[in-house]
């Protein structure tokens, strides 16, 4: 700033960096040129102090390295970068417990918006720790779920509808003659997993199946591997396994093929959920339910921008659908 003073007044510099401010074109140009030479960029901290906008978007995740989250963070960071924001990462405990300490900590950075992927953070808790930002909550509503309470805390949502994809998957399993369907669940507290299970249960009933056999997992490879062995060795097995996510499906596949000596899809059919990048790797080549990553990120960015544009707006909701990607583990 001081440096640029050599040429013009300090406010002129501020205006030069703000496209809306009125400033003679040649003057702006001159200032920007000098700024580039001097390697000057307006300090966002100072800017934040007066404008109330930090251009920081908090993202709360339990595990960055989960394939699902990491792909989401990657795409989101790119998209936010293009809009002039930066991704500020926060990690919860692996037990999904969103402690108040973390939220208080995050508060200090004063993010413009917060996206919570972690599934057990209640909107009310998040809202309590954010005076300015309106959190975005990724949710998996169920068909017959109750409507929103009239005057809860303000938050925006990205609703993921799972019925279409799961119905397509079950139809396919049915087409290939599967009768006994198992559900390899995710983490016990996970809303995503609970919603998937409920939707699966509903779809199975609609199509005349018995309810799913439940195998407890935690979204991870190892647990899925063990749960599958238990399911087949002790509990009579199944001819179709629906996993709560792709990584669980990999664990199930490896257990079936390498430990139990069963053929997939010959003896058992397997369906995953997410369509992460390695689902098409040859060793797995997984049939899975997908919701498009880039659509999802676009929806999140839309929510953020709309909210910043009108902080007082009513709850904003974006809705996304799912569909089945057919590969080699059902057939």
Partner DNA sequence: TTGTAAGCGTTATCAC
Partner DNA sequence: GTGATAACGCTTACAA
DSSP label of 157: E
128 binds, among DNA, its own copies, none (CB under 5 to 8 A by kind): its own copies
Tokens standing for 74? 């990657």
Strands (E), 9-85: 56-61
Nearer to DNA, 13 or 247 (CB): 13
96 sits near its own copies (criterion: CB under 8 A): no
Q: Which is nearer to DNA, 305 or 326 (CB)?
A: 305
Q: How remote is the C-alpha of 199 from its chain's centroid?
A: 19
By the rule CB under 8 A, 45 interacts with its own copies: yes
Nearer to its own copies, 81 or 210 (CB): 81
Q: How many CA atoms lie within 13 A of 224 on its CB side?
A: 27
3-state secondary structure 3-25: HHHHCCCHHHHHHHCCCCCCCCH
User: Is 39 a residue that touches its own copies (CB under 8 A)?
Assistant: yes
Residue 54 touches which of its own copies, DNA, none (CB < 5 to 8 A by kind)?
A: its own copies
Question: Does residue 29 belong to the site contacting its own copies (CB under 8 A)?
Answer: no
Residue 179 vs residues 201, 229, 239: alpha-carbon distances, Å: 14, 19, 7
Tell the smallest beta-carbon distance from residue 151 to its own copies (Å): 20
Tell me the three state secondary structure of residue 245: coil
CB 123 within 8 A of CB 103: no
Q: Which of the stretches 45-53, 145-153, 160-168, 237-245 binds its own copies when contact is defined by CB under 8 A?
A: 45-53
Rule CB under 8 A: is residue 104 a binding residue for its own copies?
A: yes
DSSP E strand stretches across the chain: 56-61, 86-91, 113-116, 134-139, 156-161, 181-184, 213-215, 240-243, 269-274, 287-290, 317-321, 323-325
Least gap, CB of 126 to DNA (angstroms): 20
74 is a site residue for its own copies (CB under 8 A): yes
Q: Which is nearer to DNA, 13 or 276 (CB)?
A: 13
Please choose which of its own copies, DNA, none residue 226 contacts, taking the beta carbon within 5 to 8 angstroms, the exact cut-off set by kind. Answer: none
Residue 87 binding its own copies, by CB under 8 A:
yes
SS3 99: coil
Contact at 8 Å (CB) between 173 and 152? Answer: no
Among positions 253, 268, 289, 324, the unique one binding its own copies when judged by CB under 8 A? 253
**By the rule CB under 8 A, 292 interacts with its own copies:** no
Among 3, 277, 305, 326, binds its own copies (CB under 8 A): 277
Binding site for DNA (CB under 7 A): 1-2, 8-15, 17-18, 21-24, 27, 41-43, 46-47, 49-51
Sheet holding 323-325, edge to edge: 213-215, 181-184, 240-243, 269-274, 287-290, 323-325
| Contacts to its own copies by CB under 8 A | 39, 41-46, 48-49, 54-56, 63-65, 67, 70-71, 73-74, 77-78, 81, 86-91, 102, 104-110, 128-129, 131, 221, 225, 250-251, 253-255, 257-259, 277-278, 281-284
């Amino acid at each position: 700033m001081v440096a640029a003073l050599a040429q013009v007044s300090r406010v002129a510099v501020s205006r030069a960096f703000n496209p809306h401010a009125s400033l003679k074109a040649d003057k702006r140009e001159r200032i920007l040129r000098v700024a580039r030479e001097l390697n000057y960029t307006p300090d966002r901290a100072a800017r934040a102090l007066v404008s109330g906008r930090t251009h920081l978007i908090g993202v709360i995740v339990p595990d960055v390295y989960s394939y699902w989250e990491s792909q989401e963070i990657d795409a989101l960071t790119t998209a936010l970068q293009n809009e002039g924001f930066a991704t500020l990462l926060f990690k919860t405990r692996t037990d999904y417990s969103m402690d108040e300490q973390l939220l208080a900590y995050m508060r200090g950075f004063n993010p413009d918006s917060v996206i919570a992927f972690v599934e057990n953070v209640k909107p009310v808790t998040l809202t309590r720790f954010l005076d300015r930002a309106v959190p975005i909550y990724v949710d998996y509503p169920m068909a017959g779920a109750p409507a929103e309470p009239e005057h809860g805390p303000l938050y925006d949502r990205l609703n993921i509808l799972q019925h279409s994809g799961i119905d397509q998957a079950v139809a396919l399993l049915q087409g290939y003659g599967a009768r006994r369907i198992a559900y390899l669940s995710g983490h016990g507290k996970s809303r995503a997993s609970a919603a998937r299970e409920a939707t699966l249960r509903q779809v199975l009933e609609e199509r005349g199946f018995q309810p799913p056999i439940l195998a407890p997992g935690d979204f991870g490879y190892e647990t899925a591997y063990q749960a599958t062995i238990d399911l087949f060795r002790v509990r009579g097995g199944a001819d179709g396994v629906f996993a709560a996510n792709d990584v669980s499906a990999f664990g199930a596949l490896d257990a079936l093929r390498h430990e139990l000596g069963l053929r997939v899809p010959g003896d058992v059919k397997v369906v995953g959920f997410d369509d992460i990048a390695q689902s098409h790797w040859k060793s797995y080549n997984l049939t899975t339910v997908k919701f498009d990553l880039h659509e999802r990120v676009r929806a999140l960015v839309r929510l953020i921008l709309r909210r910043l544009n009108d902080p007082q707006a009513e709850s904003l909701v974006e809705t996304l659908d799912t569909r089945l990607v057919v590969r080699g583990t059902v057939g």
